[in-house]
């Protein structure tokens, strides 16, 4: 029996943040009923047709859910949603600000009618404050939260290449739901969970903000180098780049002796601490790349391994698809979609006692008749 089996989750969700949260619940056994609008459904269905007509984002985020089409502009659709919430444990929504309130399912209304329901809002900036009604998407939140000020090269900022604000807020929503379920088990009462994408990313921004508060300066953009630790990043050698990280002074000494073969460098006062290395990073990183200039990636990697210095390859997407560690740990499996079978990675929950439910990616409205029939049979 999966941990969340018997739990019913109703979602009014679209795009990434809400669906990422509820897919975690579905993987762990919850019955996730995804309410979609007539005609187009979740807007992520139309992002692309990468998988024989099925959107890459939609396939990733919506396996194991039941798709129900309701016209929430009609009294019949609203009545059906109300009946679904009456039998639900969790209600997840990430529509535009104010949308669920206009439908009559804001927290103040819901908690009186369904006191055990856990009500979960995911929005750009939260439900209060001067930004509460501002529309928000992932890249916009990355910019507003200052992430792009730290990402990219010294010459040009860049966004993170995946939907990091959506993913962060979806994960906080998921963990908050699990906490609320534990609380409900003690009190019998549901709870209001309000997740802000902006707050999720600003929480992750605390180290650079503390640097600004404590030192009077924020870290700059450093490309494929760490902006607060040196040496840490990708460094040129004879046939490409090698990525590695020196995390403490013990490793710094080992790096100088075993990798650079310049043991005296470890005691150079310009580089004796990480703060000193940050101050003199240009000179130090030039010294490192000069030493690596006559060495291949393989030779540098061998020295790093022998010295106990953490390193990695700068992989392409294809390299990750083919990654031996994913093969060794048998992470690839398959799920079904309306277009057939597609590969999927097992979710990283990794509970020893159970295997995740890798359910089908639903067609739009695939389960409408089934779910509405269940409502008619409900006492």
Predicted local distance difference test score (pLDDT) of residue 168: 98
Rounded CA separation 377/379 (Å)? 6
Contacts of 362 (CB under 8 A, 6+ apart): 34, 62, 65, 66, 67, 338
**CB-count exposure of residue 72 (10 Å: 0-12, 13-18, 19+):** buried
d(CA 14, CA 28): 20
The residues, any chain, with a CB within 8 Å of residue 107's CB and separated by 6 or more, are 119, 121, 192
| 3-class DSSP state of 78 | helix
> What integer pLDDT is reported at residue 198 of this predicted model?
98
Positions of the chain with pLDDT lower than 70, given as ranges: none
Radius of gyration of the chain (CA): 25
Q: Which CATH class for the 232-313 domain?
A: alpha beta
Which CATH architecture describes the domain 8-204+330-377? 3-Layer(aba) Sandwich (3.40)
pTM of the model: 0.92
Strands 332-337 and 340-345, bridge-based pairing: antiparallel
- pLDDT score at 377: 84
Residue 374 contacts by C-beta under 8 Å, 6 or more apart in sequence? none
CA separation for the pair 146, 148 (Å, rounded):
6
Note whether 270 and 280 are within 8 A (CB): yes
pLDDT of residue 379: 72
Cis amide leading into 231 (omega within 30): yes
Domain boundaries, the chain: 8-204+330-377, 232-313
- Catalytically active residues, by annotation: 166
Q: What is the pLDDT of residue 378?
A: 74
């Amino acid at each position: 029996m999966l941990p969340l089996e018997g739990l019913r989750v109703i979602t009014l969700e679209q795009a990434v943040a809400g669906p990422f949260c509820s897919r975690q619940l579905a993987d762990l056994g919850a019955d996730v009923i995804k309410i979609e609008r007539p005609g187009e459904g979740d807007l992520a269905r139309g992002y692309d047709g990468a998988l024989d007509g099925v959107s890459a984002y939609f396939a990733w985020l919506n396996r194991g859910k039941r798709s129900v089409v309701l016209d929430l502009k009609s009294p019949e659709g609203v009545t059906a949603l109300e009946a679904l919430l009456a039998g639900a444990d969790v209600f997840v929504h990430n529509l535009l600000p104010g949308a669920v309130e206009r439908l009559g399912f804001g927290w103040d209304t819901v908690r009186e009618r369904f006191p055990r329901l856990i009500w979960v809002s995911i929005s750009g900036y939260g439900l209060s404050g001067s930004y509460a009604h501002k529309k928000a998407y992932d890249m916009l939140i990355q910019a507003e939260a200052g992430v792009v000020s730290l990402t990219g090269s010294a010459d040009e900022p860049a966004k993170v290449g995946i939907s990091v604000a959506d993913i962060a807020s979806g994960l906080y929503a998921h963990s908050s739901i699990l906490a609320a379920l534990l609380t409900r088990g003690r009190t019998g009462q549901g709870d209001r969970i309000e997740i802000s994408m902006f707050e999720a990313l600003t929480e992750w921004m605390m180290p650079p903000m503390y640097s600004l508060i404590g030192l009077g300066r924020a870290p700059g953009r450093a490309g494929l180098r760490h902006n607060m630790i040196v040496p840490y990043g990708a460094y040129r050698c004879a046939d490409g780049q090698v990525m590695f990280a020196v995390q403490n002074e013990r490793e710094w000494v080992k790096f100088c002796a075993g990798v650079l073969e310049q043991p005296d460098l470890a005691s150079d006062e310009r580089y004796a601490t990480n703060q000193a290395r940050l101050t003199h990073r240009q000179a130090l990183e030039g010294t490192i790349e000069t030493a690596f200039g006559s060495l291949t990636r393989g030779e540098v990697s061998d020295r790093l391994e022998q010295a106990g210095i953490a390193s990695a390859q700068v992989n392409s997407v294809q390299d990750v698809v083919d990654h031996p560690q994913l093969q060794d740990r048998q992470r690839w499996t398959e799920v079904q979609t309306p277009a057939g079978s597609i590969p999927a990675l097992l979710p990283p929950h990794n509970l020893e006692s159970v295997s995740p439910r890798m359910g089908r990616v639903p067609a739009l409205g695939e389960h409408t008749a089934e779910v509405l029939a269940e409502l008619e049979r409900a006492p």
